[in-house]
Structure 1
Amino acid sequence: MATTFAALIFRPAEIPDRALSQGFAVALGGWAVASPRLFVAPLPGVPGFCAAYYASGEPAAGGGDELDHLAELFDDELSPPVAVLDAAAELGHPGATIYALVFSEEIVHDDGWRFEASGFVRHFVREGEEGVEAGVEAPDRSDVVEVDIDLPEGATEQQEREALDRAIRPHRGSTFLAAELGAPVLGALMGGLFAPERRVDVRLVEPGPASVAAEVARLNRVLRREGGRGAPASPPPVRGVAAPATYEAFARAYDWADPADPEDLYRELAIGAIEGTLRFLREDELRSHEREPGWEAAAARRLYPLARLSGSALGGGGGGAAQRAVVALGADGEQLWLVRGGTSAAPAGPTFGELLRYLSLGWSRRSDAEEDLIGALMLRARLRSLGG
């Protein structure tokens, strides 16, 4: 069976797993890929380097569909290596270097890159419309030529393959990477592909109470607030539904009594189905759901009320109708739901952690990398709210 793969090559000391996870999630923000996968393995024969292999996780009739996806994704302006470098810089590794290879045995496709903060270099061979073509790209150049293949008259099929290999070998992306790393990279990547060490989940923001607490701390810093001010002693159960652990972490860390902003309103939000003005519910408002008509249906789905939403998400009406729009937290402590009237629940789009990161980015002066991140948060939330 022909092998097709896309991999990043990196030093683990420069690229932590969180950078891989966030970077791929940002690059995939607008892609309808439901189950992207990353597997990491050390590279035999290339000391100090690991490879992260990406696959879409989507069923496909043949390798061509996956190769088309890999080629298009890695050729995008905001490709996985670029986004991973940005995430690594955010995590304190601004001088990292990443190599990448998209390779297929099914057709001629061998595309290699070196990425660093100062720019990139790319060498490739691939099948073009007029035959096999080779190219070199950098920020200041782009050269693509057809590959001349010298075939003897009456050449056999084996001789044709050997002539093709001789002609394209100097132009291969894997040849370029072997020279960069001083080792036969393609063989090492083939070995690592079938010996993964661990899986890295592709996520914009990590789930769990610790991550939520960190996102609230980030939001407090952005808004110049004091963590835990006015926090409830213990979030109450609502209609028999206990507060998820992520909500408890949020409640302990959030600033519930900022004297500079007593209304505590987040206006003009637009992430997934959460559009309008949001206000996190106080303890007395949580308890009021014990009496709120229709909330039995939401409680039966193990939803926990989180915030009120008013404005454009309800057709811009506000007023009494706004009292029926609640952003609720699912039993997993991660997924958010938009509940109207206590009975109608639909996916809100972002996860709890993603909503908190969106809020902190929304009130920040953003770098280019942060603009990419908030864009990915909005794109991913939109896809989820539409069922994608």
Structure 2
Amino acid sequence: MATTFAALIFRTAEIPDRALSQGFAVALGGWDVASPRLFVAQLPGAPGLSAAFYSSGAPAGGGDDELDHLVELFEDELSPPVAVLDAAAELGHAGATVFALVFSEDVVHDDGWRFEASGFVRHFVREGEEGIEAGVEAPDRSDIVEVDVDLPEGATAAEERDATERAIRPHRGSTFLAAELGIPVLGALMGALFAPERRLEVRLIEPGPGSIADEVARLNRVLRREGGRGAPASPPPVRGVAPPATYAAFVRAYDWADPADPEDLYRELAIGAVEGTLRFLREDELRGHDREPGWEAAAARQLYPIARLSGSALGGGAAALAGRAIVALGTDGERLWVVRGGTSATPAGPTFGELLRYLSLGWSRRSDAEEDLIGALMLRARLRSLGG
């Protein structure tokens, strides 16, 4: 079977796993892909270098469709390497360099990139409409030429393959990367591709209580609040449903008694199906759900209420139809639902952690990278709320 792949190559000390996961998630924000994932491995024979191989999760044998997806994704202005560099900088690794290769044996396609904060350089060969073409791109140049293959008359198929390889070898992206890194890149990548060391989920925000505590701390800093102020000893069960561990972590870290903002309302939200004004439920309101008419159905689905959602102050549109609704957390402590009338539960779109990051970004002066992140949060939430 012909090999097709897209890989990022990086110095292991410069790019944490979180930067890989978040960066690919940002780049994929508006893409409806099945189950994106990364496989990471050290490059054999290249101490200090690692590779992350991306897969869309499409069924094996996707062929041309998968290559088309890889090409389009990596040629996008907000490509995975760009978003990974942004995420690495956010995590304290500014100045990192990332290399990328999109490669296929099935057709002539060998596209190599070097990305850094100052810009990029790209070398490639590919099959164009008129034959094989080669190119070099940078922020200030774009040169594409047809590759001439010198063939003797009556050349055999083997001679044609050899002549084609000689003609394209100097232009290959893998040839460019081999010179940049001082290693036989293609061979090293082939070795790593078939011996991955670990799998990474592609996530905008990590799940789990620790991540939620970090997101609440971030929100507190943005709003100049005091973590844990007025927090109850522990959140109560609601209709027999115990609070997920992520919600318990939220309760401990959140500021429940900010004297500068006693209403504690988050107005004009628009992320997935969470539209309007949101207020996190207090302890007495949680206990009141034991008497809330119709909440038995939500409890039967093991949903735990965490916030009340009301129509936007702007009025009109879909937000105004939100009416009286509850944002509830599923048993996994990650997925959110919008519950109306205690019975109708629809996917909210964002995860719990994504909602908290959206809130902190919404009340921040955002960098370009943060604008990309909030855009990805909204796009991903929209796809999920529609069942994507």
Smaller-chain TM-score bracket: over 0.9
Amino acid at match of 1:376: A
CA distance in 1, matches of 2:293, 2:61: 50
Displacement after TM superposition at 1:322 (Å): 3.3
CA distance in 2, matches of 1:330, 1:374: 23
CA deviations on 1:44-71 (whole Å, 9 max, x unpaired) are 1222100000010112554111101001
CA pair 315-3 structure 1, distance change in 2 beyond 3 A: closer
Indicate the residue corresponding to 1:288 in structure 2: 288
Indicate the residue corresponding to 2:67 in structure 1: 67
SS at match of 1:322: coil
CA deviations on 1:310-354 (whole Å, 9 max, x unpaired) are 115995558xx833x000000100000000000000000000000
SS at match of 1:81: helix
CA distance in 2, matches of 1:327, 1:286: 12
Indicate the residue corresponding to 2:202 in structure 1: 202
* Counterpart check, 1:322 vs 2:323: yes
Displacement after TM superposition at 1:34 (Å): 2.6
CA distance in 1, matches of 2:201, 2:56: 12
Indicate the residue corresponding to 1:28 in structure 2: 28
SS at match of 2:78: coil
Indicate the residue corresponding to 1:269 in structure 2: 269
CA pair 281-314 structure 1, distance change in 2 beyond 3 A: farther
CA pair 113-316 structure 1, distance change in 2 beyond 3 A: closer
CA deviations on 1:74-97 (whole Å, 9 max, x unpaired) are 000000000000000000011100
Displacement after TM superposition at 1:131 (Å): 0.6
CA pair 316-39 structure 1, distance change in 2 beyond 3 A: closer
Amino acid at match of 1:322: G
Using the TM superposition, name which of 40-49 and 244-253 deviates more: 40-49
| Pairing 1:15-54 to 2, within 5 Å after superposition | 15-54=15-54
CA distance in 2, matches of 1:142, 1:241: 60
Q: What is the root-mean-square deviation in Å for CA atoms of aligned residues? A: 1.2
Indicate the residue corresponding to 1:218 in structure 2: 218
CA deviations on 1:110-140 (whole Å, 9 max, x unpaired) are 0000000010000000001111000000000
Pairs aligned (count): 385
Q: TM-score, normalised by structure 2?
A: 0.98
CA distance in 2, matches of 1:204, 1:317: 28
CA distance in 1, matches of 2:268, 2:124: 45
CA distance in 2, matches of 1:314, 1:122: 45
Displacement after TM superposition at 1:234 (Å): 1.0
Amino acid at match of 2:323: A
Would the aligned equivalents of 1:2 and 1:106 in 2 still touch at CA under 8 Å?
yes
SS at match of 2:162: helix
CA distance in 2, matches of 1:317, 1:98: 45
Q: Which runs of 5+ in 1 are unaligned?
A: none
CA deviations on 1:5-55 (whole Å, 9 max, x unpaired) are 000000111000000000000000000013001000111122210000001
Would the aligned equivalents of 2:276 and 2:320 in 1 still touch at CA under 8 Å?
no
| Pairing 1:145-164 to 2, within 5 Å after superposition | 145-164=145-164
Q: Percent identity?
A: 85
CA distance in 1, matches of 2:135, 2:61: 30
Indicate the residue corresponding to 2:387 in structure 1: 387
* Counterpart check, 1:345 vs 2:345: yes
Would the aligned equivalents of 1:289 and 1:295 in 2 still touch at CA under 8 Å?
yes
Q: TM-score, normalised by structure 1?
A: 0.98
SS at match of 2:206: coil
Indicate the residue corresponding to 1:104 in structure 2: 104
CA distance in 1, matches of 2:323, 2:175: 61
Amino acid at match of 1:368: D
Using the TM superposition, name which of 134-143 and 56-65 deviates more: 56-65
Would the aligned equivalents of 1:46 and 1:185 in 2 still touch at CA under 8 Å?
no
Would the aligned equivalents of 1:110 and 1:126 in 2 still touch at CA under 8 Å?
yes
CA distance in 2, matches of 1:315, 1:6: 40
Would the aligned equivalents of 1:338 and 1:348 in 2 still touch at CA under 8 Å?
yes
CA distance in 1, matches of 2:14, 2:319: 47
CA distance in 1, matches of 2:317, 2:245: 29
* Counterpart check, 1:243 vs 2:243: yes
Would the aligned equivalents of 1:112 and 1:124 in 2 still touch at CA under 8 Å?
yes
Indicate the residue corresponding to 2:304 in structure 1: 304
CA pair 113-315 structure 1, distance change in 2 beyond 3 A: closer
CA distance in 2, matches of 1:31, 1:316: 25
Amino acid at match of 2:147: V
CA pair 326-314 structure 1, distance change in 2 beyond 3 A: farther
Amino acid at match of 1:38: L
Would the aligned equivalents of 1:314 and 1:322 in 2 still touch at CA under 8 Å?
no
Indicate the residue corresponding to 1:367 in structure 2: 367
Q: Which runs of 5+ in 2 are unaligned?
A: none
> Structure 1 residue runs of 4+, over 4 Å off?
312-318
SS at match of 1:122: strand
CA pair 55-347 structure 1, distance change in 2 beyond 3 A: same
* Counterpart check, 1:115 vs 2:88: no
CA deviations on 1:243-267 (whole Å, 9 max, x unpaired) are 0000000000000000000000000
